[in-house]
Structure 1
């Protein structure tokens, strides 16, 4: 049974907005789904054939779960429960289970556990054991942060043991290997055969420090506001990007940052809150409520002449609620726009988990001015929704700034996004596949577009935007025309 979405929340989201209650509704529902997904992994492991999940792997999963339960009991109830409805702060156990990457990890496990019984390729068995072993690292981190003493053995994957939110250990062998992990009094001792022990000191927040060169601490950017939580900039977690599936057409791969790249991230991030402000207070509010993690990407190849990397890209993953993937942002305003864009996808995907907006099929047949390929109706809706928010964001910027160059740039961006949305709204509105709630949602998008049209861009900017969309449509039509 789908949860109830109040009409007020539906209308707010249709306007690409969302008040505090609406954003909390989305977050709460996604967190409930995450816990149910975790339960599904445990149930699937229990029910799996021995040829799929061995008794040893199943027993280890239950031991890890027991360690989590002990950590939950150890922490005072006030720390385990949510602290502050708007802050979204959790105790260490819930915080670990609700981290964005638990979603893709759980779905990867379910695919492996759902395999048919009988003989399995050695690679498949090894991969499933790796996936289930990640839960042990998660349990160990939660227990350590809760103050529970323990000693466990964890498996490093391809020579790297990742402890989520703490950091990673590069082992002395390149393949999969066992690491003894002991926690006592806020210190982790990591032991490998034939190597001296490495001591890691826990600290509050993200990261843990060690003098050992083999240890890389997790990294976090400061909170968007002085009193908000730090935001992890995660270049360590093995589940931070798609594994074993097709990659989004425009996304590059993950990257491990060096000090120079981290400084560039910090420089852009430090001005992001200020850049979000002129675009509307609700844009900063949704970033504070929904953003849980940033994943750095490498620059896509071929984005500069000669095939050299140098462009940019960003994205979200529906199963990793709260994570935004992005190349290094060049400026705070650019990254603020990236967050506006990607968090609309986050909001709309979360809403679509709660109700049905349309019943259109997956056939890719619609023109979208922001993509060279045909789009299905759902993809068209997602793209128009995020571009409508960007049109609003840049119009507000243009109206708020007194700097001529910044104003011209903002109007140009606004005009392009406004024209792109205008080109596809008739398709969205005219669909017979919209549900009653879907029609309410799309009608609100139309109302926002009409409101924005009441303060149009300068004539030259608008003309260039119209010409751009016209050229994109002509090229799209030419590519789809049958060869003579």
Structure 2
């Protein structure tokens, strides 16, 4: 704490801790390591903020921002009640603010909020710490979008003449008040109950005794969202009740199916920042190392989805904590960092992003591996499908990254442990239908990604198109196409087939996994889905093939249709050369078809063209 000369511990990553994080969640010692390191990191960021603002502080219309008062109050609170300060310091949104403020001071973050408001948030942090410590004090805090915030406690509603202003916080004998233009508002520390003009930070709670878990449901703090802060969006009471109900069921589920994860999660997750519900089976969530312990999450479809999301984001939290301590990969000094295929994303990802995804989906796959056997009153096929899909996706990701030249020795060891666990899961039995659907959706996602983002060279494409026009028996014997990455920003919703399969399995519980009545009707509810996707998901590959061909007749350049056609041919068991080409290298067919349209004025027959291109494929 600036002014209190703290002695910071030295942090490292013992080998056993690395193994524990790779193999599971880690015991209390590992969580202690991550939490202690994060606390030290935030103290260092506070010190850096003090250093960067000590020679000049931006001014408000009324004069300089009183950061000296904030530092002094923080130091007093730390001397009186260190745990009270730690509660505010370790809150996820405090970490997000610290990192954001430092980026702003360095000129690395563009934002319209006045700098004095950003830096003045330190006063709000100090006021919350002082209130928790029971101190007497007076301090001015910023008002954003009509709210004067006290992090971890709540916010007072302020009627102000301008967008950016300040309010006075006064604490005397345990009573805390915020003076606003429309009167004084009393703060209610550690209470979910509101008072006139006061909006408390609300909490959701579940479990009892040693299993009790409480999470802040933060809809007030501007730094609850990233990469940019946002205005408060107060949840209606009925939505809070919905969150509470789903959270209770999710927590019971995690205690039953993932007890070790749940134990660790009670210490490593601290807040949910809710956003509106997404499309069914497409929850939205995010976390960042800057906001260690916080999760930005959409309202879930059900308890199972929320449990899986919690596991997913907790994995991100742990890996972010580890990366604050050590490097798993070397920085790329080039101007154009390499981008790789991530089976859970629409866009190509840098190495660091792919590693984050691998670790997150190791947790998700582990969750479904267990939950598929214990689901009560739910569709068992859906759990088996999720497990089959994600283990296939993970294995694909490992293939592209385990020998990457930028991995450090520690990173290579970490990934080797993860890969070994995934390899063991490949032998786990899965019923035929959900297993086949999982493999089909994994192949479809990869094919759609390739069709969108990869391009053979113009030279290869033109030469191959000419050989087709000349009715050559096959393309050139060489399989080298000079394929390069050409990111396509229009690539969206590459998981459409998997989403449709989830609708199918959820909607056909008790009616047989092969039922497909009214399959195409689901397309309207799944963004990015084609009619052929719905037919393929419903187990009608012949109809799907016809639909994809009709789509390609209307638009020969449709990436999703090319990828889907390969899946339909595979499922139908016809045209094996075309099916393999479109599954493994759909970008070749798409590129040559585009060249044919440009040079000859008409496209080739998609199946015949793909089969012809498939005659010179390299062995798998």
Alignment TM-score, normalising by the size of structure 1: 0.84
Report the CA distance between 1:61 and its aligned residue. 0.8
Taking the TM superposition and a 5 Å limit, the aligned residue runs for 1:35-434 are 35-48=43-56, 57=64, 60-75=66-81, 80=82, 91-115=83-107, 127-173=114-160, 175-193=163-181, 195-202=182-189, 205-207=190-192, 209-210=194-195, 212=196, 214-227=197-210, 228=212, 230-242=214-226, 244=228, 255-300=233-278, 303=279, 312-359=283-330, 361=332, 363-401=337-375, 403=376, 405-434=378-407
Cα deviation 1:271-316 (Å, max 9, x = unaligned): 122111343222102211210111111235xx48xxxxx9530110
The alignment partner of 1:197 has SS state of strand
Larger radius of gyration: 2
Q: What's the counterpart of residue 514 of structure 2?
A: none
Cα deviation 1:50-79 (Å, max 9, x = unaligned): 679999646x1111111122223333xxxx
Report the CA distance between 1:442 and its aligned residue. 0.9
Q: What's the counterpart of residue 416 of structure 2?
A: 443
Asked whether the equivalents of residues 204 and 215 of structure 2 are also in contact (C-alpha less than 8 Å), the reply is yes
Report the CA distance between 1:139 and its aligned residue. 1.2
d(CA) in 2 for partners of 1:133 and 1:360?
34
Cα deviation 1:309-329 (Å, max 9, x = unaligned): x95301101200000110112
Count of residue correspondences? 443
The structure-2 alpha-carbon separation of the partners of 1:320 and 1:292, relative to structure 1 and needing over 3 Å to count, comes to same
Report the CA distance between 1:446 and its aligned residue. 1.4
The structure-2 alpha-carbon separation of the partners of 1:15 and 1:207, relative to structure 1 and needing over 3 Å to count, comes to same
Report the CA distance between 1:223 and its aligned residue. 4.9
The structure-2 alpha-carbon separation of the partners of 1:206 and 1:223, relative to structure 1 and needing over 3 Å to count, comes to farther
Cα deviation 1:150-203 (Å, max 9, x = unaligned): 22333312321111122212212252233232212332222234x33233343x
d(CA) in 1 for partners of 2:215 and 2:118?
25
Cα deviation 1:353-385 (Å, max 9, x = unaligned): 211212263735322221121122222222122
Q: What's the counterpart of residue 581 of structure 2?
A: none
d(CA) in 1 for partners of 2:227 and 2:301?
28
Q: CA RMSD in A?
A: 2.9
Q: Which moved more, 1:149-158 or 1:340-349?
A: 149-158
Runs of 4+ in 1 over 3 A off after TM superposition: 50-58, 205-209, 223-229, 252-255, 403-406, 481-484
Taking the TM superposition and a 5 Å limit, the aligned residue runs for 1:452-463 are 452-463=425-436
The structure-2 alpha-carbon separation of the partners of 1:278 and 1:451, relative to structure 1 and needing over 3 Å to count, comes to farther
The alignment partner of 1:464 has SS state of helix
Report the CA distance between 1:95 and its aligned residue. 1.2
Report the CA distance between 1:404 and its aligned residue. 7.4
Name structure 2 gaps, 5 residues minimum. 1-8, 456-590, 596-620
d(CA) in 2 for partners of 1:26 and 1:392?
22
Name structure 1 gaps, 5 residues minimum. 81-90, 246-251, 305-309
Alignment TM-score, normalising by the size of structure 2: 0.66
Q: What's the counterpart of residue 24 of structure 1?
A: 32
Asked whether the equivalents of residues 223 and 230 of structure 1 are also in contact (C-alpha less than 8 Å), the reply is yes
d(CA) in 2 for partners of 1:384 and 1:476?
17
The structure-2 alpha-carbon separation of the partners of 1:254 and 1:157, relative to structure 1 and needing over 3 Å to count, comes to closer
Report the CA distance between 1:259 and its aligned residue. 0.8
Corresponding residue to 1:478 among 448, 451, 454: 451
The alignment partner of 1:263 has SS state of helix
Cα deviation 1:125-160 (Å, max 9, x = unaligned): x62110122111221121122111122333312321
Q: Which moved more, 1:276-285 or 1:130-139?
A: 276-285
The structure-2 alpha-carbon separation of the partners of 1:73 and 1:51, relative to structure 1 and needing over 3 Å to count, comes to closer
Report the CA distance between 1:225 and its aligned residue. 4.4
d(CA) in 2 for partners of 1:30 and 1:421?
29
Greater RCO (CA < 8 Å, at least 6 residues apart): 1
d(CA) in 1 for partners of 2:26 and 2:326?
16
Report the CA distance between 1:244 and its aligned residue. 4.6
Asked whether the equivalents of residues 224 and 288 of structure 1 are also in contact (C-alpha less than 8 Å), the reply is no
The alignment partner of 2:13 has SS state of coil
Asked whether the equivalents of residues 277 and 300 of structure 2 are also in contact (C-alpha less than 8 Å), the reply is no
